[in-house]
Structure 1
Amino acid sequence: MNALCRHSLTVCAALVLASGAAHAELEPTALVDQQHCMFCHTRDAPFLAPSFQQIAERYRNVPNAQFMLEHKLRLGGKAHWGDMAMPPAADRGGPLSAEDAHTLVLWVLSQ
C-alpha cells in the first residue's frame, strides 16, 4: 500500500470517528419538542429551570443518577433547584417511554 492510500485511509477513519462522536451528541429534537423541554430549560444558561449543562455537571458522575433522572422525566419529581418541580411527562406532552427517557438523559448528560 502506498503512502497516499495509507493517508487516505487514515483520513477516512478519522472522519468516521469524528462523525460518530458528533452523532452521539445530536439533540433528540423530536423528543425535546414533544416534551416541551425548552419551555423551562436551555442548553447553557439557567432559565425557569437549570440548564442542561448544569444538570450534566451535577449528575454526570453520580452513581444511579441516570436512573433517577429517567424516572423523574417520566413521572415528575420535586425541585432540586429553586421552586419549580419537574411535571410528569403526561403533563408536558404525553407519555414518555423508558427508552425515550433514556435517550433524553444520555443527551443531557453529554452536555
Structure 2
Amino acid sequence: MKAVPLPHLAATLLALFLSASSAALAQSEPTALVDQQHCMFCHTRDAPFLAPSFQQIAARYRDVPNARLMLEHKLREGGKAHWGDTAMPLPPDRGGPLTAEDAHTLIVWVLAQ
C-alpha cells in the first residue's frame, strides 16, 4: 500500500471539513427568526400547507436573478400572493418588523432548501 503524502492528506481533509461545515451552515435553520416571524404557521420545510413549502420556494426562485432581493423585500413589507390565494402577511401580523439582515438570513436559508 502506497503512503499518501502528508500535505496532500491534510489538504484533502481540510477540503472535506470545509465542505461539510458549509453544508451544515447552509442547512442550519435560523430557529429564533423562524419562531419570531411565525413562519411555520403557514409554511413547512417540505410540504405545502397554507402556503408553499420552503423547498417549493427554493425550487422556484433559487436560479432566478434578483429573486433573493425580491423575497427579502416581501418578507419585510408583505406582499401579494404568488401561490394560491394567501398573501404574505404584513410584518405586524407575523411578529413585528424584520431587519434587512434578518430577512437576508431567512431567505438565504429558504433558498438553501
TM-score (norm: length of structure 2): 0.87
Deviations 1:65-87 (A, max 9, x none): 11110111011011111111101
Q: What aligned pairs does 1:59-98 form with structure 2 within 5 A after superposition?
A: 59-98=61-100
Displacement of 1:20 in angstroms is: 2.3
Secondary structure of 1:72's partner? helix
Secondary structure of 1:32's partner? helix
Deviates more, 1:9-18 or 1:19-28: 9-18
Deviations 1:43-71 (A, max 9, x none): 01000000001001111111111111011
Q: CA RMSD in A?
A: 1.7
Uncovered stretches (5+) of structure 1, i.e. residues with no partner: none
Q: What aligned pairs does 1:1-111 form with structure 2 within 5 A after superposition?
A: 3=4, 5-6=6-7, 9=10, 10-111=12-113
- Amino acid paired to 2:28: L
Indicate if the aligned counterparts of 1:74 and 1:101 stay in contact, CA closer than 8 A: yes
- Amino acid paired to 2:19: L
Q: Percent same amino acid at aligned positions?
A: 73
Matches of 2:15 and 2:84, distance apart in 1: 46
Question: How many correspondences in the alignment?
Answer: 110
- Amino acid paired to 2:20: A
Uncovered stretches (5+) of structure 2, i.e. residues with no partner: none
